[in-house]
Structure 1
Amino acid sequence: MVAAGRRVAVGLGAVGAVCLLLGGCLLLAGPAIVKEQVLKNVRIDPSSISFNMWRDIPVPFYLTVNLFEVQNPQEVLQGAKPKVNQRGPYVYREFKYKTNITFHDNDTVSYLEYRQLFFRPDLSNGTEDEYIVMPNILMLGAAVMMENLPSFVKLLLSGALAGLKQEAFINRTVGEILWGYEDPLLDTINALVPGLIPYKGKFGIFIEFNNTNSGLFTVNTGMKNISQVHMVDSWNGLKKVNYWRTNECNMINGTAGEMWPPYMSPTSLEFYSPDACRSMTLVYEQSGKFKGVPTYRFVAPKTLFANGTDYPPNEGFCPCRQSGIQNVSSCRLNAPMFISHPHFYNADPSLVDAVEGLHPSREEHALFLDVHPVTGIPMNCSIKLQLNQYMKQVSGILQTGKIQPVVMPLLWFAESGYIDGSVLSQFYTNLVLIPSILDYLQYIFLGLSVPLIISAALVMMSQKSSKEKHPHDPTTQSPPPQPSETTPLLQDTGTQSQDTAEA
């Protein structure tokens, strides 16, 4: 019994020690192993897991466009408030891929990223063949741009506009408005004011958006310094742009907007947007989960498009108007164009009041990024922007009528996408499930080791106490000797002695 009890105690102690050892190893080495794998696989390197995702984005992206139809164009020409109706959405499947990928010796890589758009009528509310009444962007923009020119030049332009039957509002199809239409006004403007507009033949809001790249990006690979991975080193060879009035506003900060360095803190993130001609900062809002994957949600602060009066650091983006819209004329051929959140969300209320039919809301018009903080990879995003045009009556150009000065919304669009399918499964397994299992195992092993070792000690103490209390216990003595083959001889000898005595 003592030997058996001792064996039980030794077995329990051995198993407990093994559990303690495994738990301790996982506690100390587990996070380091996971971190090593993360750092190895988020670098821009052909051997990393995320490289193919970075090169050919597998996430299905969609471009959703909503146009603002002007419902009272004749009244607007007489000085009335514009009344608009949102049309759409018109949805396009967006494919992104990188070409000209070139690695450099200074831990950077250069590339061109192209995008292709394909109309999805099954997801859209309308077709590209629908007609919509909108401001004549080209004519009204040229009028404002030429406002300070000599009167005779403006009269020449007005006469030319009349000859070309140009009006302040046009009735065109969605496809023409977005992707271009023939307009002889382009050649006329170029003849009167050479170099004013670089377009020739066709004009469309997104004419340079499809089958084009967003410029030559050079970003850090993270091979030597993982904290700099995906951070932009230069764009089109520039360390900073020259569109704005201050160095701070001209800086190219953050990443290219696709991924961020791993192990993010819940503060803010930055990216450079060629479409907005500037770097943009989003701030942390809350933690959450996207299909089981932990995320940080980043949103636009109210100061993103604030004017210089309300937010002095934005003074460099001026000349400014009301808060909530940013003047992008300096990077849009000096055309009077502004960007904002859709429906002037988070903007000065006067902008909303100046146009009837706008209904800003956080749920529909706020942009967001849900990023996995461990890897810096976006899981779900929707970047929303609105394009607006400043228009007004310009003396000498009769076509502008009596239009009151107004920042007119033209359209708003959202680029949205989220990780799903096999990509999500692989991501979840490698970066969420396995680390979670390792995390749970370390506590299971440590939790088991304590009762096992205590049980072993108790068994040993029980055996020792029992032996001290019962030193002569038969169960603790050696068994008596067994009869041997000599016993019959002893019995015979005893019988013979008895017979002798009787004789």
Structure 2
Amino acid sequence: MGNLSRARRVTAALGFIGLLFAVLGIIMIVMVPSIIKQQVLKNVRIDPNSLSFNMWKEIPVPFYLSVYFFNIVNPEGIIQGQKPQVQEHGPYVYREFRHKSNITFNNNDTVSFLEYRSYQFQPDKSRGQESDYIVMPNILVLSASMMMENRPGLLKLMMTLAFSTLGQRAFMNRTVGEIMWGYDDPLIHLINQYFPNSLPFKGKFGLFAELNNSDSGLFTVFTGVKNFSRIHLVDKWNGVSKVNYWHSDQCNMINGTSGQMWAPFMTPESSLEFYSPEACRSMKLVYKEQGVFGGIPTFRFVAPSTLFANGSVYPPNEGFCPCRESGIQNVSTCRQTGNIQPVVLPLMWFEESGAMEGETLETFYIQLVLMPKVLHYAQYVLLALGCVLLLIPIIYQIRSQGSKDAISQPCLATQPDQLPSPYTPLLQDSLRGQPTSPKV
């Protein structure tokens, strides 16, 4: 009896545990997707208490600027009318560091900030050194010449004499570092002295001099704390909700984010829209394909063919005119180029890239891939295990009932009419309580 009672208690306990597992599995199937979504929404908000705030404040993803220059092989021949011959040099790679400062939370669910950028040369990733010399058109001389195009002949002569006196030629031979970050040139001081405000700079001239150790303007974006539907979207840039550089309201609109983070749960139907201070306009990237990076599923978004198409090819871009050939964006209306006339001059090309790595990539993989996958399988494992454990008391009950039936079956076989005939009188008398003996 003790063994039977203990077996019943164990069976009941297993059934109860199975019921708990089954219920927990069902609850997880129903609730886990919603819980994960709520946690994601909570942690991507721009809030000092969110897990992603420090990542938003100082982006841990390493960004790299890769620059390629077109070195002119035949500068003297070009002056004599030959076709230019160029050799591509590079890449010259720079690590780009970004950090936000002057972070101010406003009462309308927005936050304002300045983002500073700095660049550090990476010799191990580059094909060349910053001390490499590049022959390229002398931008200052060409700019000054364009400024003199409609001036009186006397001024043109004076400028020609100034070029000769200062040793200025149509082409220059400068180091990569000078071309990138600036160099002193007496021509700059001469132009600024006799033609004030004609040049957009006063000191050193360099193609990227204005970008290093500078900010990209005052951004005000929505935090998503009170209204998640507008998270990371730009409210204002430098205090305005739209710019006035272009010739249509559509082109002047400030749309999308500041170009660093977007709302989660994007789909192939989504688009990535952001405002670029360098291009003075909003841009939109469109979905192309799915991929995997470091074990994390990704969506790839690219620039559509219409992004820099001119107005004749894509009428909505008429507002960005005066247009050039498709593929060229004229930013002279927003970059303080003064009286310099526009000219298409291929000097170099560059690309910016960034990818998660190290601890940041591992954290994203654990939180976005591994943990949801574990929870996904755990809920079905719990449900299946619960069902198995629930079957134990059912099977036990069926087997117990079968055992009782098996024990009662031999009692039926003791009926007198089923025994062998020689013993029948003895058994019948015994059943009546009367002693008797068999007759021989």
Q: 1:55 to 1:473 in 2, by over 3 A?
A: farther
Aligned CA RMSD, in angstroms, stands at: 2.5
Q: What does 1:69-80 align with in structure 2 at a 5 Å threshold?
A: 69-80=71-82
TM-score, normalisation: structure 1 = 0.75
Name the counterpart of 1:357: none
Name the counterpart of 1:60: 62
Percent identity reads 57
Contact 1:141 1:336 in 2 (8 A): no
Give, in angstroms, the shift of residue 468 of structure 1.
5.0
1-side partners of 2:32 and 2:272: how far apart? 28
Name the counterpart of 1:177: 179
Letter in 2 for 1:34: I
Q: What does 1:16-415 align with in structure 2 at a 5 Å threshold?
A: 16-149=18-151, 153-266=155-268, 267-334=270-337, 391=343, 407-415=344-352
Contact 1:95 1:116 in 2 (8 A): yes
SS at match of 2:123: coil
Contact 1:227 1:262 in 2 (8 A): no
2-side partners of 1:448 and 1:336: how far apart? 78
Which range is displaced more, 15-24 or 156-165? 156-165
1-side partners of 2:26 and 2:153: how far apart? 85
Which range is displaced more, 290-299 or 69-78? 69-78
2-side partners of 1:462 and 1:72: how far apart? 98
Give, in angstroms, the shift of residue 433 of structure 1.
1.7
Give, in angstroms, the shift of residue 148 of structure 1.
4.4
2-side partners of 1:201 and 1:321: how far apart? 30
Give, in angstroms, the shift of residue 408 of structure 1.
2.7
Contact 2:259 2:275 in 1 (8 A): yes
2-side partners of 1:149 and 1:473: how far apart? 128
Q: 1:155 to 1:3 in 2, by over 3 A?
A: same
Letter in 2 for 1:425: E
Q: 1:273 to 1:415 in 2, by over 3 A?
A: same
Letter in 2 for 1:412: W
Letter in 1 for 2:297: P
1-side partners of 2:140 and 2:231: how far apart? 41
Give, in angstroms, the shift of residue 4 of structure 1.
7.3
1:445 matched to 2:382? The reply is: yes
1:426 matched to 2:428? The reply is: no
Letter in 2 for 1:319: P
1-side partners of 2:156 and 2:62: how far apart? 48
1-side partners of 2:405 and 2:356: how far apart? 69
Q: 1:154 to 1:468 in 2, by over 3 A?
A: farther
How many residues in Structure 1 have an aligned counterpart in Structure 2?
408
Q: 1:318 to 1:145 in 2, by over 3 A?
A: farther
Contact 1:5 1:463 in 2 (8 A): no
Give, in angstroms, the shift of residue 461 of structure 1.
3.6
Give, in angstroms, the shift of residue 69 of structure 1.
0.9
1-side partners of 2:326 and 2:342: how far apart? 14
Contact 1:141 1:335 in 2 (8 A): no
**1:453-474 superposed Cα distances (whole Å, 9 cap, x missing partner):** 3454344344445545654557
Which range is displaced more, 54-63 or 17-26? 54-63
Q: 1:26 to 1:149 in 2, by over 3 A?
A: farther
SS at match of 2:297: strand
Which range is displaced more, 50-59 or 138-147? 138-147
2-side partners of 1:199 and 1:115: how far apart? 19
1-side partners of 2:149 and 2:18: how far apart? 86
**1:423-451 superposed Cα distances (whole Å, 9 cap, x missing partner):** 22222223322221111111112233344
SS at match of 1:330: coil
Give, in angstroms, the shift of residue 215 of structure 1.
0.9
Q: 1:466 to 1:28 in 2, by over 3 A?
A: same
**1:206-250 superposed Cα distances (whole Å, 9 cap, x missing partner):** 111111111111111111112222111111112111221111111
Contact 1:65 1:413 in 2 (8 A): yes
Letter in 1 for 2:199: I
Name the counterpart of 2:438: none
1-side partners of 2:153 and 2:261: how far apart? 52
Which range is displaced more, 57-66 or 18-27? 57-66
TM-score, normalisation: structure 2 = 0.85
Give, in angstroms, the shift of residue 154 of structure 1.
4.2
Whichever structure has more strand as a proportion of its residues is 1
Contact 1:286 1:297 in 2 (8 A): yes
2-side partners of 1:201 and 1:20: how far apart? 74
Which range is displaced more, 8-17 or 287-296? 8-17
**1:32-78 superposed Cα distances (whole Å, 9 cap, x missing partner):** 22122211111111111111111122222222221111112223233
Contact 1:17 1:449 in 2 (8 A): yes
1-side partners of 2:105 and 2:222: how far apart? 10
1-side partners of 2:28 and 2:383: how far apart? 10
Which range is displaced more, 282-291 or 416-425? 416-425
2-side partners of 1:211 and 1:12: how far apart? 67
1-side partners of 2:375 and 2:408: how far apart? 50
Contact 1:336 1:390 in 2 (8 A): no
Contact 2:199 2:338 in 1 (8 A): no
2-side partners of 1:129 and 1:2: how far apart? 91
Letter in 2 for 1:308: G
